[in-house]
Amino acid sequence: DSSGAVGSSDVVILLHGFPTSSYDWSKIWEGLTQRFHRVIALDFLGFGFSDKPRPHRYSILEQADIVEGLVRHLGLRQHRINLLSHDYGDTVAQELLHRDDTGGRHGSHPGLLAQVSMEHIPGWAAPGSPVTGVSLSVLQYINQRKQHRKRWVGALMSTSVPLHLIYGPLDPVNPHPEFLQLYKKVLPSSTVSVLDDHISHYPQLEDPMGFLNSYLNFINSF
């Protein structure tokens, strides 16, 4: 949680991917603090330095609850939030979009989201691959994506929140050009940044400057 740009009231929350942690954002952190008033990242439950309870049924719905709880804890409920998400975090962002459009998991909170930017959406165009050495209970998110596909893809299709995709063409999870063609067909109103041909699944680490410029160009268009 870093205070950043003076004169800005914009807040960005960073949602990391699987099977890593908020450290994924380290190479663009300073650049984000030069644009946003507040830059916030968390380690999802079961990841990084967060608790890893066992036995536990890790769910995307619970991770979204945790993000909402963090927003309340930090006193940001009245702020409009920018979400920047990657991989596993994209699915959490989709659940938050669904709640933003429908009044929350229990129909109880106002819309909070200003913009959502995503890096890849694993399993959307191609099935995700299991990662060895990782708790199977954490891997249940793959089945949850199948179970809630209508809810989460529907959230992307129906939202009025501006969406932006930052895409590395060498991404093995969402192969080029099939994934990009599907994404543009399903979400024609979303804007897209395609990075250099050698960029793969972790563009914020592989090409931090190109990634940051793509993201800030999107944010500064509003």
Answer yes or no: is 3 within a domain.
Answer: no
Nearest to 125 by CA among 144, 147, 148, 149: 149
Answer yes or no: is 6 within a domain.
Answer: no
Answer yes or no: is 212 within a domain.
Answer: yes
* Residue 154 token pair: 């529907």
Contact, 193 vs 136, CB < 8 A?
Answer: no
Q: Average pLDDT of 44-55? A: 95
Answer yes or no: is 157 within a domain.
Answer: yes
The total number of structural domains that make up the chain: 1
What pLDDT sits at residue 103? 79
Residue 178, SS3? helix
Answer yes or no: is 130 within a domain.
Answer: yes
Give the model confidence (pLDDT) of 124-154 as tens digits. 543 333 333 345 577 788 899 889 999 999 9
Residue 221, SS3? coil
Q: Which domain holds residue 124?
A: 11-220
What pLDDT sits at residue 127? 36
Residue 40, SS3? strand
Find the CATH number of the domain harbouring 82.
3.40.50.1820
Q: How far is CA 61 from CA 24, 94, 161, 166, 169, in A?
A: 22, 10, 20, 24, 30
Peptide bond into 19 cis (omega under 30): yes
Report the C-alpha gap between 83 and 12 in whole angstroms: 6
Answer yes or no: is 89 within a domain.
Answer: yes
Answer yes or no: is 116 within a domain.
Answer: yes
Answer yes or no: is 5 within a domain.
Answer: no
| Verdict on whether the full-model pTM lies above 0.85 | yes
Give the model confidence (pLDDT) of 184-215 as tens digits. 999 999 999 999 999 999 999 999 999 999 99
